[in-house]
Amino acid sequence: MRQVQRFCLLLLVGLATTSCSLLYYGYLPGGRYKYLRPRKKVELSGRCVALKVVDHRAQRRAIDCSAIQLDRETELEGKKGVTLFEEYAKFIIEQAGGRITSSCPDVLTISIEGLSFSLIGVGYIVPHGLVQFRSSLDGREQSYCTDMTDRDEDSPIGQYSLRTRRNASRMIVSGALRRTLEEMVSDLSQQ
């Protein structure tokens, strides 16, 4: 009888530590949004821009590069999401050697159109980081869109990582922001 109980206990522990467990992106304490260093080396060579971030998410229910509906009830709604986006944009531009000051004659206007996350699945959960924005500088307008999952090569979390729901959602949003802002900075370096 004792061996049967031990076997059942070991089986439950084994199931709890595999990718199909309920603990996958489960119930442990969460983390903060992180500013991830750029993966690609882009040089802005001290280019100076004034940054203006505008929130245009109010009427959007989806982004152009994903069929997933935006969750309008996350912690990223309102001022917190705009602040995160603005600080992350400053970080990525400065990492590329750019300068951001309000006295610069070139104004980089960024309109946030989507900033959210989604956790899809039962048992095995796939986190999605959803970002879309439009940038405008010197009369040139460009749109950027990302739907990042933990399966993507540049994802900050691995496909079989043991993460909490909060930590997974925050890390995948950080990764999606990094990818999308890097694309924008790369385009800026060629202007």
Q: In whole numbers, what is the pLDDT of the chain averaged over residues?
A: 84
Q: What is the pLDDT of residues 119-153, one digit of tens each?
A: 888 877 889 999 999 999 988 999 999 999 988 89
Q: Is 9 within the bounds of a domain?
A: no
The enclosing domain of 175 has a CATH number of 3.40.50
Task: Pick the most confident of 1-15, 123-137, 155-169.
Answer: 123-137
pLDDT digits (tens, 9 = 90+) for 21-55: 333 333 334 447 889 899 988 899 889 999 999 99
Looking at the domain assignment, is residue 7 inside a domain? no
Counting the structural domains of the chain, the total is: 1
Residue 19 domain-assigned? no
**Does 18 reside within a domain?**
no
Among 114, 126, 124, which Cα is nearest to 157's?
A: 126
Q: Is residue 122 part of a domain?
A: yes
Question: What is the spatial distance between Cα 80 and Cα 115, in angstroms, rounded to a whole number?
Answer: 11
Q: Is 174 exposed, middle or buried (0-12, 13-18, 19+ CB in 10 A)?
A: buried
Say if CB 30 and CB 166 are below 8 A apart.
yes
Q: What is the pTM of this model?
A: 0.79
pLDDT number for residue 1 = 63
Residue 31 is assigned to a structural domain of this protein: yes
> Is residue 168 a part of any domain in this protein?
yes
Position 58 in a domain = yes
Look at residue 185 and tell me whether its pLDDT is greater than 50. yes
Query: 100 is in which domain, residue-wise?
Result: 25-189
Mean predicted confidence (pLDDT) in 91-102:
94
Token pair belonging to 113: 């159109």
Residue 106 to residue 186: CA distance in whole angstroms: 17
CB 119 within 8 A of CB 25: yes
